[in-house]
């Protein structure tokens, strides 16, 4: 999987647009079991990354990815900032150490583990991890892009029956059951958008 500056710019834009279009929906999900700001938080982060896009495109891929993570951390705040930020910062660092290409599923796995450590969370806690791990799994099994996207969507929906063990939703205990986790939802939306973009702009 060979990334190019054009591709980075495209992905940044596709993520920004996806979040912008779904910001209200994500806030609504967060209102049900959290504090109602997840859409706003994600939008602020994506806009900050977009604003940096010119600088980012000139960087080597690992640096660009790490920088995107740092930009998210330094602009989002809340829970989403450190979580999405750690994901990308770790991914950038892993990309840098594992210069040889091809090991992306492993890189992603390590980045997701870093997110789990940051959040002191595990799979099943009703968080974005419950989308990230299945997506990584699909990737590791060389699923098609459309299947990865589908897996992300299903996984987000699968958070509904879970009882939240981390984040604000955990304060609700059993009352968190029956609602889709906002972080899982944003993660699925982004995964779907990225898969679709890659599908359409497949570098072959």
Partner 1 sequence: MKKFMNTAETMAAESVEGFVRAHETFVVFGADKRCVRRRHLLPGKVAVISGGGAGHEPMHIGFVGQGMLDAACVGHVFTSPTPSQIISAIEETDSGNGCLLIVKNYDGDIMNFEMAMEMAAGRHDIATVIVADDIETARVGEGHGRRGVAGTLVVEKLLGAAAEQGMPLQALKQLGDGLSARIRSMGVALNGVTVPHTQRTTFALGAGEMEVGIGIHGEPGHSRQPFAASDAIVHQLCETIVGDIAVQPGAKALLFVNGLGGTPPAELYLAYNAARRFMEKQGIAIERSLVGTYVTSLDMQGLSITLALLTAEELQLWDFPVMTAALRWS
Residue 153 Cβ, how far from Mg ion at the closest point, in Å?
21
Using CB under 6 A as the binding rule, whether residue 162 contacts ligand ADP is answered as: no
Q: Give the x/- contact pattern for ligand ADP in 3-42, rule: CB under 6 A.
A: ---------------------------x---xx-xx--x-
Separation between Cα atoms, residue 24 and residue 37, nearest integer Å = 9
Region 54-93 residues binding partner 1, contact defined as CB under 8 A: 73-83, 85-86
Q: Which residue, 134 or 183, is less far from ligand ADP as judged by CB?
A: 183
Among 162, 167, 188, 195, binds partner 1 (CB under 8 A): 167
| Minimum distance of ligand ADP from residue 18's CB (angstroms) | 16
| Contact residue for Mg ion among 18, 22, 34, 64 (CB under 5 A) | 34
- Token pair belonging to 55: 């600088």
Nearest approach in angstroms of CB 96 to ligand ADP is 25
* Polymer length of the chain: 204
Q: Among 68, 88, 111, 184, which residue interacts with ligand ADP (rule: CB under 6 A)? A: 184
Query: Is the CB of residue 72 less than 8 Å from the CB of residue 88?
Result: yes
How many other CB atoms are found less than 10 A from the CB of residue 114? 18
Q: Number of residues in contact with ligand ADP, rule: CB under 6 A?
A: 23
Contact between 1 and 107 under an 8 Å Cβ cutoff? The reply is no
> Which residue, 96 or 163, is less far from ligand ADP as judged by CB?
163
Using alpha carbons, select from 116, 112, 126 the residue that is nearest to residue 29.
Answer: 126
- 72 and 49 in contact (C-beta within 8 Å)? yes
Q: Alpha carbon 111 to chain centroid distance?
A: 11
As a whole number of angstroms, the distance between CA 160 and CA 100 comes to 39
Q: Which residues from 73-92 bind Mg ion, rule CB under 5 A?
A: 78
Q: Which of residues 11-40 bind partner 1 (CB under 8 A)?
A: 24, 27-28, 31, 33-37, 39-40
Residue 81 · residue 57 · CB < 8 Å: no
């Amino acid at each position: 999987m060979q990334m190019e500056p054009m591709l980075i710019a495209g992905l940044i834009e596709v993520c920004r647009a996806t979040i912008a279009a779904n910001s209200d929906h994500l806030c609504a999900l967060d209102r049900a079991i959290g504090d109602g700001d997840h859409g706003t938080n994600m939008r602020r982060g994506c806009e900050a990354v977009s604003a940096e896009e010119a600088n980012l495109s000139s960087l080597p891929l690992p640096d660009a990815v790490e920088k995107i993570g740092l930009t998210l951390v330094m602009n989002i705040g809340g829970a989403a900032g450190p979580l999405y930020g750690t994901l990308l910062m770790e991914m950038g660092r892993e990309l840098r150490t594992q210069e040889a290409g091809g090991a992306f599923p492993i890189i992603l796995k390590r980045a997701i583990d870093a997110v789990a450590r940051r959040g002191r969370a595990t799979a099943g806690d009703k968080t974005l991890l419950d989308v990230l791990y299945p997506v990584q799994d699909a990737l590791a099994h060389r699923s098609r892009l459309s299947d990865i996207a589908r897996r992300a969507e299903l996984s987000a929906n699968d958070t509904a029956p879970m009882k939240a063990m981390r984040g604000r939703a955990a304060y609700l205990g059993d009352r968190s059951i029956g609602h889709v986790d906002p972080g899982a939802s944003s993660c699925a939306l982004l995964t779907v958008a990225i898969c679709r973009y890659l599908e359409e702009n497949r570098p072959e």
